[in-house]
Amino acid sequence: EVLTLLVLLSPALRGLAVWLHAAVTGTYVPGTHSIALVSCLNEQVARDIARAIMDKKLAACVNILPKSSALYFWKGELEESTEILLLVKTRTSKIGELSNYVRSIHPFEIPEIISLPIDQGNPVYLKWMEENVPR
């Protein structure tokens, strides 16, 4: 009982216990993979960035979503524009590297790069993601 309590109270030990349980049972560990959202100026920029991400093997898949309207403040002024959104599916451990790389090639001064952890999903698809993004 004391050991179980210690494992639950310690984030590092809890994470290790969840990982070991997943490895033994074949279950998915929530948050192992993420979806990063990257907004782009137009379709050509979106395709170029998506291809560059895939060439670097930073994602298993990148979806390019059609135009959307965006309202935002930039340098104190309300702006309105159209953007193309990338959905980048990758390992959570790759988000830092992905973010750094996208910032280095993106034409925006401050590109939008936001990630959301994947809590659940099709186990076969999540395994496919695992196989297609190197550690």
Nearest C-alpha neighbor of 65 from the set 101, 100, 102, 40? 40
Residue pair 47/64 in contact by the 8 Å Cβ criterion: yes
pLDDT band for position 135 (50/70/90)?
confident
Q: Considering the entire predicted model, what is its pTM? A: 0.82
pLDDT band for position 27 (50/70/90)?
confident
57 shares its domain with 95:
yes
63 shares its domain with 106:
yes
DSSP 52: H
3 shares its domain with 49:
no
Alpha carbons 26 and 16: distance in angstroms, whole number:
15
22 shares its domain with 44:
no
pLDDT band for position 19 (50/70/90)?
low
75 shares its domain with 15:
no
Q: Which two tokens stand for residue 70?
A: 């965006």
More confident residue, 4 or 134: 134
Parent domain of 14: 1-28
Q: How many domains does the chain have?
A: 2
Q: Which two tokens stand for residue 33?
A: 């993979």
pLDDT digits (tens, 9 = 90+) for 38-59: 999 999 999 999 999 999 999 9
Alpha carbons 30 and 119: distance in angstroms, whole number:
4
73 shares its domain with 89:
yes
